[in-house]
Amino acid sequence: MKQNEIKHMILDNKDCYAALCAHDTRFDGKFFVGVSSTGIYCRLICRAKLPKEENCTFFTSAAAAEAAGYRPCLKCRPELAPGYAPVDSAGFIARSAAQIMEENCPDDLNITELASMLSITERHLHRVFSSEYGVSPVQYMQTTKLFLAKSLLADTRLSITDVAQAAGFGSIRRFNDLFKNHYKLTPSDMRNMGSSAGEDSREICLKLGYRPPYSWDKLVSFLSARAIPGVESVEGNVYYRTVGLQKGDKLCKGWISVADRQEGNYLLVTLSCTLLPVLSQVLARVRRLFDVNCDPLKIFEKLEVMNEISPHLCEPGTRLPGCFDPYEMSVRAILGQQVTIKAARTLAMRFTREFGEKIDTPFSDLNYTFPDPGEICSLQGPVENYLGPLGITSARARSIFYLAEAIVSGSVVFTPTADPEGEMAKLLKLPGFGPWTVQYIGMRALNWLDAFPHTDYGVKKALPGMTPREILALSQEWKPWRSYATINLWNSLDKNHK
C-alpha cells in the first residue's frame, strides 16, 4: 500500500484493515479504527486482540471516532498519536485551524475568531474542516481539550481541578459530565488507572508520540551545537531550555526538558509546574521544535535519490530542527551571518544576558529567558549603541531591531496561519536580510519544508565541485522536501568528520 494512497484508503475498509493487521507505523495517527463489539477506538498500532474486519469502522480523526460514539482505548492511547505534517494533503487551512486550536485549547476561542484568524468565512472553515477531519471545528476542539485532560490525568499527579483548568474547562461540573459522557469514566477513575508518572509536584511529565524511524541523536546534536548558553543545553542526550510565555497580562517563566523514548516511539516532555497556564503552547512549540508530526518514510521516498550522489547522503528518520521561539531563532540566524556556529553562540549569549530576564531553575546552566521583541523595540536611541559593545556589528544590530519592530507591529507573523513564502518575501525586504538568512529562517522558524539555502557553505561543502547555480538546479528534484535535504547535507559533513 503506497503512502500517497492514504486519502483514498480512508474510505477503503479492506486496505485500512490490512494496515491494522500489520500494525503499520507509517499510518499511525492518519486514521483510527472503531470496534463495534467493544465501543472502543484505537490507533492501528494497538497491540490489543485484533478485531474482526466486520466489526471495524475507520475514521480520519480521533474526533470523528468520538463523534460516532466510540471511547478511546486505554492501551494504545489515541491522544499520543502523531498528527499530520503541513503538506500531507491539500487541507492546509484545516490543519492550520487544528494547530491553532491545539495551541490555544484552554482559551475560549470561538469559531468566528478562528475563521477571522484564517481570513476565511465560517462556512468555508466548516466545509474544509469537515472534509479533512470528518467533524466540525467545535467537535475537534472538544476532543482536543479532552485529550489534554486525559494525558494529564494518566501521566501526572496534578489535582483534578488543575487538570480541568489547564485543559480549558470553565467548570469542574462540565468537565466531569463531558468526561463521563465520552469515556464512561470519571476523571477520578482515569486518575486511578494512570501511571503515576511525574509525582514531583514541581514537574509535569507528558508524552508526544512520533512515527519511527526518528534520528534523535542527529537532531539533538544539531541543537546542542547551536544552543544559546544560559537558555538551552544538552546533557546526556536530553534537551533542556528556559521558557518565557505570555498568558494574558502574566509572563509565565519556567523550564522544559525533552528526552527520546525510542522503545515507545514517543518523546518525554518534562516541564516546571509554573508553565501549567501555558501548557498547550509549550506542547505545540515542542512539537514544532522536534518535528513530531513528520512522516519520515514518505520524505525518504522522495529524497532517497540523493544517495545516487553519495551513499548514505540521505537517511530515513532525519528530522527538521524547528524552533521554540521564532524571534529567538531569527536573531540567531542574523548573528550567524558569515561567522562560525561557535561565534554566533557567543554573540547570542551576550545578547541574552544583556536583555533577557534572569530565572531560577534546578539547572546551573539555565538561568536566562531569551528577550522578547518588545524589549528591543523599547530601546531609546540608536540600537547600535546597545548592541555594538556586545560585538554585534551595526548592520546586524539594525536587522535585529527591524525584525523586532516588524513582529511587534504585526507586519511579519510566525503563527500557524502564516504563509511561509509570503512571510519570507517580507523578510527579504528588511535591511540586512539576504537569501541565506531568509531561507534559514523559513526552514526553522516558519516550518517551511521546501526552504533551500543553496549558497550555504555547508551545502556547498557537501556537494563539492558544484556551483550554487548547479546546486539549485539539482535541488529541484528534491521538492517539496528541500529543507530535509539541507539537513541531510549538513549531517553528511558530521559523518565525514568522524
Catalytically active residues, by annotation:
456
CA angle 428, 431, 437 (to 5 degrees): 50
* Rounded distance between C-alpha atoms, residue 130 and residue 39, angstroms: 23
Among candidate residues 208, 230, 218, 177, the one with its CA nearest the CA of residue 314: 218
Given a contact cutoff of 8 angstroms between Cβ atoms, the answer to whether 318 and 430 are in contact is: no
Helix (H), strand (E) at residue 243 = strand 238-247
Residue type (1 letter), 421: E
* Rounded distance between C-alpha atoms, residue 250 and residue 162, angstroms: 18
Omega before 213 within 30 of 0, i.e. cis: yes
* Rounded distance between C-alpha atoms, residue 61 and residue 13, angstroms: 15
3-state helix/strand/coil string of 396-449: HHHHHHHHHHHHHHCCCCCCCCCCHHHHHHHHHCCCCCCHHHHHHHHHHCCCCC
Give the helix ranges, DSSP H, for 273-340. Answer: 279-289, 296-303, 326-335
The C-alpha cell at 47 is 497491540
Backbone angles phi, psi at 334, to 5 degrees: -65, -45
SS3 assignment, position 179? helix
SS3 assignment, position 181? helix
* Rounded distance between C-alpha atoms, residue 338 and residue 342, angstroms: 12
Distances (CA, A) of 309 to 297, 301, 314, 466: 20, 16, 10, 12
User: Cβ of 277: how many Cβ atoms within 10 Å?
Assistant: 16
Q: Please name the residue that has the C-alpha cell 516558519.
A: 446
* Rounded distance between C-alpha atoms, residue 131 and residue 126, angstroms: 8
* Rounded distance between C-alpha atoms, residue 291 and residue 103, angstroms: 15
The C-alpha cell at 169 is 474547562
Residue type (1 letter), 389: P
Given a contact cutoff of 8 angstroms between Cβ atoms, the answer to whether 129 and 94 are in contact is: yes
- Cβ within 8 Å of residue 323, ≥6 positions away: 288, 289, 329, 444, 445
Helices and strands per DSSP (H, E), number in the chain: 23, 11
Among candidate residues 497, 425, 409, the one with its CA nearest the CA of residue 461: 497
